Structure 1
């Protein structure tokens, strides 16, 4: 799929947050739009997407970042109170264009010097391993979360055909763990997977978060249904996965492998360590 790119220079990068991200003080989005274009992405129903004439997944705005100006923004924010950052809430900070533009790396470089109280990095891209050196500067102040919603590639292709292969994501998570970076697998949204999935995830990380189409979509599953999630599952013969009670059954399987304290659910799994 061809992606239309444009650039802009924002006045600021940090945005005050709340709601699902109430445990954070700011969200940080290096891009607007996302080339991965996952079918279930809630951003499809937000104004940032609805007001564009282009289909979600076909456009990306690159937010040109100045390292020194962002460092000053961080310093100002820290003078006002805690700075806990969620990166990113409405885009993937490691989508393909990041390999060339390095906006995320520029922002991380500033954070390595002017450290936030906590940084949560959410991605589904193996490119995240490029920045292990900067993650190590933040030590215990960071959690890197890689989305691995299934271990069945035909399921991935049905929901998010432009997203990175699952095997590459698992490999990236292992690299992060081996480098001593606090990291987790985000099985979010939880898509149909095999009985071997919990063991496969345990081989690459000791922490996992589960979320589904009901707790995580902000509308009790209605938003996910409107985006076609249930229809896709029906077409795949997996309709029983669109069930608010399913997550408890799968939770027990993961807890049997990871231990109860290492399996977090929905909003709690995207919060800073307590």
Structure 2
């Protein structure tokens, strides 16, 4: 799906961390909308999507003009009030395809290198994050890149998120980040059907795993995801058992056999600063 691009002039760029992100002082979204258009994305059921005229989720992306200049002012004010922890991003992917051209996310990182927050979590599923290793390295222990890898199956990935980067490309990106000394984690979020060797594929390159599902992590106990109709996609695949409140236990058990228990986090705890 090709996304229509719009240019907006926001008045602010930092939002107060609330709800699932209450552990952060702020969230930051370089864009509104996301061309990865994952079928299960809970943002489909949020006002930013529901009340958008002209186009379904994934068919449009708003580029935030002047985001870096706005951030320069806002972060200075925020730091005067105390600790600043930022989650980037909560309702878009900061490294979706348009970032190649617009570089809004890179401009934001340049500001954060000059005026570092106490902690920055970069949540993405895109190997494009590797482009900014030079900036991420300067943030040192104050940053963590959380790479979404919901499954180890390309068949499953293509069924649920055909516009998103291939699984192997994400694993390769993690290796590049690790080799560069960037703190990383894998976010198995939302949890999709995977194989028993999934943990073994990740063990050589990462030492922190966050497991989250549709029920713990969509901010509504699974109600938003239910409205999207994701349960029907599992039924179509004959994998109904993976769409349940207990499915995460299967994956957690597999990972506990390969990773130390203190390296595995569940839902909100895995995204905390």
- CA apart distance, 1:69: 4.1
Partner in structure 2 of residue 47 of structure 1: 47
**CA displacement, residues 146-175 of structure 1 (integer Å, 9 cap, x when unaligned):** 100001111111111111111100100111
| Aligned length, in residue pairs | 272
2:237 aligned with 1:236:
yes
2:117 aligned with 1:119:
no
In structure 2, runs of 5+ residues without a counterpart are none
In structure 1, runs of 5+ residues without a counterpart are none
Partner in structure 2 of residue 170 of structure 1: 171
- Report if aligned partners of 1:171, 1:204 keep a CA contact under 8 Å in 2: no
> Matches of residues 176-195 of structure 1 in structure 2 within 5 Å?
176-195=177-196
**CA displacement, residues 153-204 of structure 1 (integer Å, 9 cap, x when unaligned):** 1111111111111110010011111111110110001100111111101122
Q: Aligned equivalents of 2:226 and 2:69: distance in 1?
A: 43
- Report if aligned partners of 1:208, 1:262 keep a CA contact under 8 Å in 2: yes
Partner in structure 1 of residue 72 of structure 2: 71
- Root-mean-square deviation (Å): 1.1
TM-score (normalised: structure 1) = 0.97
- Report if aligned partners of 2:10, 2:64 keep a CA contact under 8 Å in 1: yes
> Matches of residues 179-218 of structure 1 in structure 2 within 5 Å?
179-218=180-219
Partner in structure 2 of residue 15 of structure 1: 15
- CA apart distance, 1:66: 5.2
- Report if aligned partners of 1:225, 1:231 keep a CA contact under 8 Å in 2: no
Q: Aligned equivalents of 2:68 and 2:228: distance in 1?
A: 37
- Report if aligned partners of 1:148, 1:169 keep a CA contact under 8 Å in 2: yes
TM-score (normalised: structure 2) = 0.97
